[in-house]
């Protein structure tokens, strides 16, 4: 998601990963901080995705909170790793590794919301439909419509559909006021993270040349604070994590486990669900 920018900081023949083949280049100057990483700050800020995902996976396995929840956190991990690879290399193949897992993660979240009850409602039909849809989007994006706008539209549509369906299921449930407040707080935090990230992402695109001028005046290391695409990664990592917690909470509440859990923050900033009584939920 973004615009193509011509980087003149170094000659393309000197790039460690060779000439850029991605359809997108971001506002961060290429190969300025490191000879081996094309967009250093855009790459390393994906560590927030990785940290959130690894902690979520570890907690879900420790408290036996379900294979689907583990799969969702693994999807978040793939998003972070794919994005880091893309910004490190600026190759078209790694660009796909960045963009496509975002769609697959949304599909996993949607499946977890639909099949949140103890009994499976749709059997193999829902996974087959979701896999077919994602395969169609993937093939179309790779072979026919190689425009980031197509990916953005598909991603936004999947997110909106998932949130709308999950909110509808939430309204149908008979839950305690405490659980309802937690639902509202997680949705709000998820929305603020995603909206804040989208805001700075647009600022980075629209005011790129001005931001580059400001960064050149500030110099290292303070110029890193104006790498707004890196802030997009940080904010959307938080937004995505809170939305995954919302999916997780919806599943627990649908199965009658809302009295067994609480939400805490590891070292003050990594949110996770902790069950008061470890109980396996498949």
- Establish whether 151 is an annotated binding residue: no
Domain limits, the chain = 34-275
- Establish whether 115 is an annotated binding residue: no
For domain 34-275, give the fold.
Rhopdopsin 7-helix transmembrane proteins (1.20.1070)
Q: What is the pLDDT of residue 2?
A: 46
The per-residue pLDDT for range 176-199, each reduced to its tens digit, is 888 888 888 999 999 999 999 999
- Establish whether 41 is an annotated binding residue: no
The per-residue pLDDT for range 201-239, each reduced to its tens digit, is 999 999 999 999 999 999 888 999 999 999 999 999 999
CA–CA–CA angle 218, 2, 85 (5° rounding): 80
Q: What is the pLDDT of residue 257?
A: 78
- Establish whether 87 is an annotated binding residue: yes
| 3-state per-residue secondary structure call for the chain | CCCCCCCCCCCHHHCCCCCCCCCCCCCCCCCCCCCCCCCHHHHHCCHHHHHHHHHHHHHHHHCCCCHHHHHHHHHHHHHHHHHHHHHHHCCHHHHHHHHHHHHHHHHHHHHHHHCCCCCCCCCCHHHHHHHHHHHHHHHHHHHCCCCHHHHHHHHHHHHHHHHHHHHHHHHHCCCCHHHHHHHHHHHHHHHHHHHHHHHHHHHHHHCHHHHHHHHHHHCCCHHHHHCHHHHHHHHHHHHHHHHHHHHHHHHHHHCCCCCCEEEEEECCCEEEEEECCCCCCC
- Establish whether 11 is an annotated binding residue: no
Closest CA relative to residue 232, chosen from 45, 4, 27: 45
Q: What is the pLDDT of residue 13?
A: 61
Q: What is the pLDDT of residue 1?
A: 42
Q: What is the pLDDT of residue 113?
A: 84
Per the CB < 8 A criterion, the answer to whether 198 and 12 are in contact is no
Beta bridge partners of 275: 261
Q: Which residues of the chain fall below pLDDT 70?
A: 1-13, 275, 277-282
Q: What is the pLDDT of residue 190?
A: 92
- Establish whether 233 is an annotated binding residue: yes
- Establish whether 25 is an annotated binding residue: yes
The per-residue pLDDT for range 79-92, each reduced to its tens digit, is 999 999 999 999 99
Residue appearing with tokens 């539209």: 153
């Amino acid at each position: 998601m973004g615009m193509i920018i011509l980087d003149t900081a170094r000659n393309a023949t000197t790039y460690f990963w060779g000439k850029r083949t991605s359809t997108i280049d971001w506002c961060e100057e290429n190969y300025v901080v490191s000879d081996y990483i094309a967009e250093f700050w855009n790459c390393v800020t994906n560590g927030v995705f990785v940290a959130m995902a690894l902690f979520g996976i570890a907690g879900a396995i420790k408290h036996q909170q379900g294979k689907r929840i583990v799969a969702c956190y693994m999807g978040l991990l793939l998003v972070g790793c794919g994005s880091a690879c893309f910004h490190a290399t600026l190759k078209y193949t790694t660009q796909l590794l960045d963009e496509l897992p975002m769609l697959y993660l949304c599909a996993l979240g949607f499946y977890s919301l639909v099949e949140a009850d103890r009994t499976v409602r749709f059997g193999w039909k829902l996974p087959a439909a979701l896999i077919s849809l994602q395969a169609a989007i993937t093939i179309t994006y790779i072979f026919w419509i190689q425009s980031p706008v197509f990916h953005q539209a598909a991603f936004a549509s999947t997110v909106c559909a998932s949130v709308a369906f999950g909110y509808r299921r939430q309204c149908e449930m008979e839950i305690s006021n405490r659980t309802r407040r937690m639902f509202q707080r997680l949705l709000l935090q998820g929305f603020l993270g995603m909206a804040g990230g989208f805001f700075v992402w647009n600022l980075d695109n629209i005011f790129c040349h001005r931001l580059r001028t400001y960064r050149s005046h500030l110099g290292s290391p303070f110029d890193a604070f104006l790498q707004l695409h890196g802030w997009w990664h940080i904010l959307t990592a938080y937004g995505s994590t809170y939305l995954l917690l919302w999916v997780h909470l919806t599943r627990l509440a649908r199965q009658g486990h809302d009295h067994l859990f609480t939400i805490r923050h590891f070292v003050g900033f990594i949110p996770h669900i902790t069950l008061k009584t470890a109980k396996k939920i498949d």
